[in-house]
Amino acid sequence: MQEHKTNKAMEKSSSSQRRLDREDAQQALQRLQHILKRQEVVTSLTERQVEDTDRSTLLEGLMHRQHEAEIQTLINSLHPADIAFILESLPEQDRRAVWQLVDAEHDADVLLEVEDWARESLIKSMEADELIAAAGNMDADEIADLVPDLPPEVIAAVQRGLTEEERAQLVEAMGYPEDTVGALMDFDMVRVREDVTLEVVLRYLRRLQELPDHTDQIFVVDRTDRLQGVLSVTRLLVSEPEKLVSEVMSTDYLSLNPLDSDSDAASAFERYDLVSAPVIDDLGRLVGRVTIDEVVDVLQEDSQEQALSRAGLQEEDIFSPVKTAIRNRAPWLLINLCTAATASFIASRFEDTVSHIVILAFLMSIVAGIGGNSGNQTMTMIIRAMATGRVTGSNVIPLIKRELLVTFLVGACGSLVTATFAWFISGSVAIAAVMMAAMIGNMLIGAALGVLIPILRDRFGNDPAVGSSVLLTFATDSLGFLLFLGLATVFLL
């Protein structure tokens, strides 16, 4: 297993060098799209030449093979990550056609690199023997990532080809929930005993062709695999070879549990600048490790999910069928429609006020918009703080007080500008005063809700980022109209 991992790392390094010697993925994508466009033009022209069918078919076949050769040369000169990027950037039909031209040696790495929605379409286009061959080039933790997308017969065939140790690791990795450390960890690491000298450790390492990726520390275990400490590679290299591992190792280390959240693990890596961390079970046994490359993937995925969820979206193929896109986007748009209708209904209840003072119709959108923007600023900061674990039950009230104070001071300054504008276009000091009061009030409402909405959604087990902006906009629009037009009705009529 160690030898397989080493060879795989060497292949990746070679692929990376080829990629760096040629062109980046964006340029390669443009070249590929140009080739596909030429192929489409040739097909279109030959379909029109109905007089000599045999000649047209021959010409089309020759040009098609030429284009395939160009694509094959281009795509297989890239790093697997760049191949994955290109496949994700193509419509499904072109994606499958290009995927058939990718060399089998890249299949495993590309399947691990592509997004889930693209991987599904690629796997569907592969034969069972191709999938088995690709999985045969993966480690147990990597196979576990693909299991949800693989047909049952392929999973069974892959398991038969594993060693007893690898099969046990696969079963263990599959047993953990998706968003946990157990599903994230890998099993490739270096272990030593504490009662050996550093010279023995160095001789052991020299027998390996290459260390596992991101090996910054060696794990010290006893005979039952209980973790005793960690030995940094730096300390190993600079210490006297005659010393025992127990004399040099550190017992002050951060460890993770397989059931810890992957987001919590990512926060720990970010906080303590880790490269790797051991994963130990409830009995203290070393079961795996988490490395920085997996943590970067978690951070990127969380960032993408938050960006999509703020707009009420889920991850989807940009070239997915129209029906799929409608199912993804329609629900929150309908909710937006309902909230906008509610805000309009509230404004319609003040028809007499607006008909007497028409300028209010032009000013009330400012009050609602500023309140929404203020709330979104607060909500973005709170969601970020929640993601890093800085928001607790004991600091919610102080957070609300702080945000209200900051918002009041900012709103007081901004409302002076707005009031001046309202006075300038209306010529009325009373309208300017109402505008100023309504703006401060709605900004305070937005700030309070910007703290409360994500916290309450999290308390009820919902993603705090999903739909929070929709709820906030609904509140600031509705209450902003009610506050502004209500004050105008009381003080101006």
Residue type at position 195: D
Yes or no: say if 151 and 128 are a contact pair by the CB < 8 Å rule: yes
The pLDDT assigned to 428 comes to 92
Q: What's the farthest any 2 CA atoms get from each other in the chain?
A: 94
Asked whether the CA dihedral 208, 210, 212, 218 is positive or negative, the reply is positive
The pLDDT assigned to 478 comes to 92
The pLDDT assigned to 162 comes to 87
Of residues 206, 239, 236, 208, the one with CA closest to residue 220:
236
The pTM (predicted TM-score) of the whole model is: 0.69
The pLDDT assigned to 5 comes to 44
Yes or no: say if 166 and 188 are a contact pair by the CB < 8 Å rule: no
3-state secondary structure of 219: strand
User: Which domains does the chain possess?
Assistant: 2-126 (no CATH), 191-309 (3.10.580.10), 322-492 (1.10.357.20)
The pLDDT assigned to 440 comes to 94
Report CA-CA distances (Å) from 202 to 205, 239, 275, 484: 5, 11, 21, 75
Of residues 371, 378, 367, the one with CA closest to residue 452:
378
Q: What are φ and ψ of residue 228, in 5° steps?
A: -100, -25
Q: Looking at the DSSP assignment, which residues form a beta bridge with residue 250?
A: 230
Of residues 340, 374, 385, the one with CA closest to residue 448:
374
* CB neighbour list of residue 140: distance below 8 Å, 6 or more residues apart: 162, 166, 167, 169, 170, 173, 187
Locate 140 and state its tokens.
Answer: 């147990």
The pLDDT assigned to 302 comes to 76
Asked whether the CA dihedral 101, 103, 108, 109 is positive or negative, the reply is negative
The pLDDT assigned to 488 comes to 92
What is the rounded CA–CA span in Å between residue 112 and residue 108?
6
What pLDDT tens digit does each residue of the chain (493 aa) get?
444 444 444 444 444 444 444 457 888 888 888 888 887 776 665 555 544 555 455 545 566 688 888 889 999 989 999 999 999 888 888 899 899 999 999 999 999 889 888 888 899 889 999 999 998 888 888 888 888 888 889 888 888 888 888 888 888 888 898 889 999 999 999 999 999 999 999 999 999 988 999 999 999 999 999 999 999 999 999 999 999 999 999 999 999 999 999 988 998 998 899 999 999 999 999 999 999 999 998 888 877 777 666 666 666 666 767 777 777 777 777 887 888 888 889 989 998 999 989 999 889 889 998 998 989 889 888 887 887 777 877 888 888 889 899 999 999 999 999 999 999 998 999 999 999 999 999 999 999 999 999 888 888 877 787 777 888 888 999 999 999 999 999 998 7
Locate 253 and state its tokens.
Answer: 């280390």
